Homo-oligomer: A and B are copies of this chain.
Amino acid sequence: MAQLKGFKKLVPTETALKMLLDNLWFKQPETETISIYEALNRVLAVDITADEDIPRFDRSAVDGYAVRAKDTFEATQFRPKILKLTLDDELGEDEAKEVWTGNPLPKGADAVVMLENVKRLNGQIEVWAPVTPGENVSKRGEDVTRGQVAVKAHTRLKPYHLGIIAALGVSKISVFRTPKVAVLATGNELVELGQKPSSGQVIEVNRLILSMMCRELGAETVDLGIARDDVKEISRKIKVGLDAADIVLTTGGTSVGASDLVPSAVNSIGEPGVIVHGVAMRPAMPTALAVVHNKPIVILSGNPVAAVFGFEVFARPLILKMMGLEHEPRPIVAAKLTRRVSTALGRKTFVRVRVFQQNGEFLAEPISSRGSGIISTMVRANGYIVAPENREGLLEGETVHVHLFSPFEV
Q: How far is the CB of A330 from chain B (nearest CB, A)?
A: 6
With A and B bound together, what is the CA distance between A209 and B40 in angstroms?
10
Bits for A296-334, please: 1 = Cβ < 8 Å to B, else 0. Answer: 000001111000100000000000000000011111111
Contact B209 A409 (CB under 8 A): no
Docked-complex contact A255 and B407, CB < 8 angstroms:
no
- Is the CB–CB distance between A405 and B329 below 8 Å? no
A100 and B258 in contact (CB under 8 A), knowing A203-B166, A209-B162, A407-B331? yes
Distance to closest chain B CB from A203 (angstroms) = 6
| A139 CB to nearest chain B CB (Å) | 9
Please provide the chain A residues from 350 to 406 with a CB less than 8 Å away from any CB of chain B in the complex: 362, 370-376, 378-379, 401, 404-406
Residue A257 CB within 8 A of the other chain = yes
Contact B164 A102, beta carbon cutoff 8 Å: no
CB pair B333 A1 closer than 8 Å: no
Structural contact, A162 and B120, CB atoms closer than 8 A: no
Question: Is B410 a contact of A375 with CB atoms below 8 Å?
Answer: no
Which residues of A (98-151) have their CB < 8 Å from a CB of B?
Answer: 98, 100-104, 115-116, 118, 120, 134-138, 142-144, 150-151
Closest B-chain residue to A215, C-beta based?
Answer: B40
Q: Is the CB of A375 within 8 A of B333?
A: no
A175 interfacial by beta-carbon distance below 8 Å: no
A138 contact set on B, CB distance < 8 A: 370-371, 373-374
**Partner of A57 from B56, B196, B200 at Cβ < 8 Å:** B200
With A200-B104, A408-B332 known as contacts, the answer to whether A374 contacts B143 (CB < 8 A) is: yes
Q: Which residues of B contact A63 (CB under 8 A)?
A: 4, 255-257, 259
Of A75-83, A153-161, A230-238, the segment with at least 4 beta carbons within 8 Å of chain B is: A153-161
Asked if A216 is at the interface (CB within 8 A of a chain B CB), the reply is yes
Number of copies: 2
| Main SS class of interface, A | loop
- Asked whether A193 is an interface residue with its Cβ less than 8 Å from the other chain, the reply is yes
Residues in B whose Cβ lies below 8 Å from that of A159: 208-210, 212-213, 216, 308
Residues of B with C-beta under 8 A to A308 = 159-160
Query: What are the residues of chain B within 8 A of A1 when measuring CB–CB?
Result: 85, 98
Question: Is A243 an interface residue, CB under 8 A from the partner?
Answer: no
Q: Do the beta carbons of B61 and A370 come within 8 Å of each other?
A: yes
In contact, B205 and A163 (Cβ under 8 angstroms): yes
* Distance (whole angstroms) from the CB of A283 to the closest CB of chain B: 10
* B61, A163: Cβ atoms closer than 8 Å: no
Residues of B within 8 A of A378 (CB): 160, 163
CB < 8 Å neighbour of A187 from B102, B167, B408: B102
Known contacts A138-B371, A164-B376, A376-B143; A115 and B61 CB within 8 A of each other: no
Residue of B nearest to A327 (CB): B409
- Asked if A116 contacts B6 (CB within 8 A), the reply is yes
User: In angstroms, how far is the closest chain B Cβ from the Cβ of A147?
Assistant: 14
Q: Is A18 part of the binding interface, using a Cβ–Cβ cutoff of 8 Å?
A: no
Interface residues of A (CB under 8 A from B): 1, 3-6, 36-37, 40, 54-57, 59, 61, 63-64, 85, 98, 100-104, 115-116, 118, 120, 134-138, 142-144, 150-151, 158-164, 166-169, 171, 187, 189, 193-194, 196-197, 199-200, 202-203, 205-206, 208-210, 212-213, 215-216, 252, 255-259, 301-304, 308, 327-334, 362, 370-376, 378-379, 401, 404-410
Q: Can you report 18 residue pairs joining A to B where beta carbons are below 8 Å apart?
A: A5-B115, A40-B212, A56-B197, A56-B202, A115-B257, A135-B370, A142-B371, A150-B376, A160-B375, A162-B212, A163-B378, A164-B376, A166-B208, A167-B205, A169-B194, A169-B203, A328-B407, A332-B410
